[in-house]
Structure 1
Amino acid sequence: MRPLAIASAVLSFASTALCAEKSNLTTPLTSKLILPSTFKPVQNFQNANLVHIISLEKGYPKESINVVIENIASTAQDEYFLPFTSQQMATIGALEVKDRKNPDGALFQVEAVEFDPESDTQFYRISLPTPLAPKAQQTLGITFSYLSALTPLPATIAQADKQYLVYTFSAYCQSAYVTLKQKTEVKFPSVVVPEYTIIPGTKGEAESPQKQGSKFTYGSFGEVPAGAVEPVKVRYEFTKPLIHVSELERDIEVSHWGGNVAFEERYTMTNRAANLSKQFSRVEWASAQYYNPPTTAVRELKFPLKVGSLDPYFTDVIGNVSTSRFRSNKREANLEIKPRYPVFGGWNYPFRVGWNADLKKYLRKLKTGEGYVLNVPFLEGPKQPEGMEYEHITLRVILPEGAENVQYSTTVPLVSASTSLHRTFMDTTGRTALTLTAINIVDDLRDRELIVTYDYPFLAGFRKPIVIFISTLSLFAAAWGIGSLDVKIKSKRS
């Protein structure tokens, strides 16, 4: 558990502020703070009011914590700790913190601190941009998601049956500080919630939850001590697939000479929905398509691409897949693909898609010097109503041969970054490739920008034409030399 938890904890190290100010490749991506197993945050803060929102409307739980923190110490404070269990740390993704009253402001720096394996409680450290004065308050907006956190119950169902998922959480929001007032809101995809935990009311208060359509509310609760939990389990209907991408390899290849940027994405996709209790029936599946009932199978994937995208392709391990449709005009470019077979719970489907685009839409040259700025989406991929989760993403930006001084900036949390050489046809030294790695990402981060700056000297642009010219000239010279050889067989004269 320790290696997996530490790897996942590194996820949020490169927050927006860190990426904006320190975006070069030498920036360390790990925390230097190691906490002992007996560590407990100093009670410098209290939560004056807290609202915990859990959204179960997609195939992964997304949680938001809106909390008014108050400095109860005698000196200004700038470090706020957020606790999680080791299991949560292994699956948490895209934790972000900002000032709730300034939603357009920069994200706060967030670090997952290393931990002693004897402790089940681990922490994220939130660094406030400005130290909070004594008795002053600030409203934090904290968001994060969990991957592989929903469990189908029953685990196997018939092909046409409805699916139910189970999720376990605490009605008391996990906090390292005393909370004076709080409530937890749970949003379900429908009103069908056959099982849920009931918390009896105290001091004349009504029991929880209070129901309002597809939303349940636990609380409001009075003062709760630090570290308090109140386990809650809910089971609700969710007849949609749970799309999990264990590996996504995304390549972006830039060609100055061709004026083109080529995108290719390779997916290893699994449906984590309930498995089939009987063998798949193609006849039953075909007959059901006439009235299009809800299903846990992945029937199609929709890629909303950038306007101007062209030449899309869709292949899998067998070869080209013809069940796709591409619609492109001045306002949109949509690629709709259908897998070779419906992907039911427990089934895998590896595939790849790719397309081209005009480089002018993504690249601009700086007014001075030899610098260029490339602005591309870090993640595109399918946009599904049930959502998608990505366990591991490897993004490779392949720049022209001779590109140097490569820098990057993105608001997507990263775990590693490196540069290398990528050799292709007619290259000499090889093209410069920037490789970025992220883990535990959800599709809420779709279309977040990746900005790459690099220098491309004027003479470097002529490297390939010169290589082609010399190669062609050498070929003709070799052909002329071979053709001028006298290979006739002559008889000896007596």
Structure 2
Amino acid sequence: MRAHALFLSLLPLVPFVTSRSTASTSDILPANFQPPQVWVNANQVRTINLEKSYPREAINTVIENVSDDPQTEYYLPFAGDVIANVGGLQVKDKKDPLKEGFSAELVELDSESSTQYYRLTLPPVAPKSSLTLSITYTLLSTLSPLPAKIPQASPQHLTYSLSAYIPSAYPTTKQRTRLRFPSTRVPDFTTVPRPATADTPEALDPDRQGPTFTYGPYPPLPAGAAHPITVRYEFTKPIPSVSLLERDLEVSHWGGNLATEERYWLENHAAALREQFSRLEYQKEGYSTTAQSSALKEVRRPLAPGAGNPYFTDAIGNISTSRFRPGDVVAKRDASWELKPRFPVYGGWKYAFKIGWDADLSAYIRRIASGSDHFVLKVPFLEGLKLDEGLQYKRAVVRVILPEGARDINFATAVPLANDEITIHKTFMDTLGRPTLQLTAVNIVDEWRDKDLIVTYTYPWTAGYRKPLTIAAAMISVFITVWIVGSLDVSIGRKTK
């Protein structure tokens, strides 16, 4: 089953246009594959945001069709050792950002190839015509602390390697790259000579203006041009990464309840401690107003105002300090979980836990029409933890467990998915089992936490009586069995008359 836009009667319920970047592969191309030279990048501007714990790149490019035929395919290159870390790739028309995004498909090349490609499918672009693309994506696990081990109270520095020239499979007429750092403390960076152009004199890049560095503009460059650079900047914050998030949403029509449980496997990719952890040094940091630390000291999980019946468990028991702050539906004040690990999570340390809560199902579900058996469920795909430094998810598995007897299941979401399937989840007193929509996303970040998941399904009114009838039948069977057993004569001796 594929994600798709819901039918017209549901449009008032869907506040977004469904777009999906697929990571599916097609035929294997040779390692020496070169995209047809039918495009020219007339102008490219790349902005790399390093203010969070993961880089976020945005490329605005004006592409011109220089062939004699209309073109619909544009290839976006990535280094072979980086392609597995690309996440959340979105491609849109810069002049019409509200329009549905263009599809992006990962092209499968021979494993020996040092360059991999995403193939973008565009609307037909006539010869000598142009199109302005807005390309955004994140790169997970690409920041490296240097030095890799630091004292407990020392500042942390990260390195990021890239090319001063924007990677492209086509010739580029003009380009520039901007890097935004969290502060002006950037002790090391690579300089690049910039030749003079008609608009700018000869200079030495980067051009530094506060926390923003600019490389370029550069004169025309051929396809595949590259100039490796590395920047090293201060980032004394944790680099949290969730290797796996399992998020279950269980729908109960009979109880009018939406039960949610989330299981996190969290790790800090910051610099490791050079010496053993000192509780005294850690306590001293708490009395300093200027002290910064790369340790993850606490996490907060916002919840909807109506959340109730919360629970929290560590992977090895309940040794963390947890506090639940209830919300207010009338005042529209969110509830929240506040979790403080027993030990701060320093670089290389891990922290696994699970949380759960209940919510009123009526806040998330609607009938398509009065008296109809068709329902629409609207829930957040990924709410997740809220951290100022950002959070990356290597793999997120979302399961929507529907009532037993639900059928005709469809869904729509703006989150790019790696896999989707329908499975069966069996629990207490089930007969056939509950249909479960399981969605898997990889390489996503906390910026996707506001995206919704829309699920439509049919649930006949008769299916609601399946479990009560099952329970009643089980109890009647027990009573009949007891009555039969009790009426049996198991005595050995002869009955007296």
2: CA distance between counterparts of 1:150 and 1:215? 18
Q: Which letter maps to 1:56?
A: L
1: CA distance between counterparts of 2:485 and 2:340? 54
Please state how far the C-alpha of 1:193 moved relative to its aligned partner.
Answer: 0.3
1: CA distance between counterparts of 2:355 and 2:219? 53
Q: Is the 8 A contact 1:314 1:337 kept in 2?
A: no
Structure 2 residue 82 is matched with structure 1 residue 88? yes
Please state how far the C-alpha of 1:258 moved relative to its aligned partner.
Answer: 0.8
Q: CA RMSD in A?
A: 2.3
- Gap change, CA 1:135 and 1:282, over 3 Å in 2: same
- Could you say which residue in structure 2 is the equivalent of 1:304? 302
Query: Can you list the C-alpha shifts for 1:280-329, whole angstroms capped at 9, x where unaligned?
Result: 11122123212252111111111122231222222112223562222212
- Gap change, CA 1:339 and 1:322, over 3 Å in 2: closer
Q: Which letter maps to 2:323?
A: R
Gaps of 5+ in 2: 8-16
- Could you say which residue in structure 1 is the equivalent of 2:58? 64
TM-score normalised by structure 1 residue count: 0.91
- Could you say which residue in structure 2 is the equivalent of 1:326? 324
- Gap change, CA 1:202 and 1:403, over 3 Å in 2: same
Gaps of 5+ in 1: 1-13
Among 139, 147, 150, the residue aligned to 1:157: 150
Query: Can you list the C-alpha shifts for 1:160-197, whole angstroms capped at 9, x where unaligned?
Result: 11100000001100011111111000000111000000
2: CA distance between counterparts of 1:48 and 1:21? 38
Question: What is the aligned-residue identity percentage?
Answer: 51
Q: How many correspondences in the alignment? A: 475
Alignment of 1:206-217 (within 5 A): 206-217=203-214
1: CA distance between counterparts of 2:23 and 2:78? 20
SS in 1 for 2:5: helix
Query: Can you list the C-alpha shifts for 1:4-29, whole angstroms capped at 9, x where unaligned?
Result: xxxxxxxxxx8xxx7438999xx997
SS in 1 for 2:466: helix
- Could you say which residue in structure 2 is the equivalent of 1:118? 112
- Gap change, CA 1:20 and 1:115, over 3 Å in 2: farther
Please state how far the C-alpha of 1:479 moved relative to its aligned partner.
Answer: 3.8
- Could you say which residue in structure 1 is the equivalent of 2:425? 422
Q: Which letter maps to 1:329?
A: D
Among 469, 481, 485, the residue aligned to 1:478: 481
Structure 2 residue 345 is matched with structure 1 residue 351? no
Q: Which letter maps to 1:380?
A: E
Q: Is the 8 A contact 1:196 1:234 kept in 2?
A: yes
- Gap change, CA 1:20 and 1:86, over 3 Å in 2: farther
Please state how far the C-alpha of 1:406 moved relative to its aligned partner.
Answer: 1.3
Please state how far the C-alpha of 1:485 moved relative to its aligned partner.
Answer: 5.2
Query: Can you list the C-alpha shifts for 1:189-243, whole angstroms capped at 9, x where unaligned?
Result: 1110000001123234221111111010011111111110111100000001111
- Could you say which residue in structure 1 is the equivalent of 2:5? 20
Structure 2 residue 385 is matched with structure 1 residue 382? yes
**More off after superposition, 331-340 vs 294-303:** 331-340
Among 162, 175, 192, the residue aligned to 1:169: 162
Q: Is the 8 A contact 1:19 1:411 kept in 2?
A: no
1: CA distance between counterparts of 2:29 and 2:493? 90
Q: Is the 8 A contact 2:23 2:105 kept in 1?
A: no
Q: Is the 8 A contact 2:320 2:341 kept in 1?
A: no
Among 328, 332, 335, the residue aligned to 2:337: 335
SS in 2 for 1:400: coil
Query: Can you list the C-alpha shifts for 1:24-54, whole angstroms capped at 9, x where unaligned?
Result: 9xx9972324322222111211111110111
Query: Can you list the C-alpha shifts for 1:138-174, whole angstroms capped at 9, x where unaligned?
Result: 1110011111100000000111111000000011000
- Could you say which residue in structure 2 is the equivalent of 1:10? none
1: CA distance between counterparts of 2:429 and 2:304? 30
- Could you say which residue in structure 1 is the equivalent of 2:369? 367
Alignment of 1:38-57 (within 5 A): 38-57=32-51
Q: Which letter maps to 2:309?
A: D
Q: Which letter maps to 2:187?
A: P
Structure 2 residue 230 is matched with structure 1 residue 233? yes
Q: Is the 8 A contact 2:23 2:106 kept in 1?
A: no
Among 381, 396, 401, the residue aligned to 2:399: 396
Please state how far the C-alpha of 1:334 moved relative to its aligned partner.
Answer: 2.1
- Could you say which residue in structure 2 is the equivalent of 1:6? none
Structure 2 residue 144 is matched with structure 1 residue 145? no
- Could you say which residue in structure 2 is the equivalent of 1:109? 103
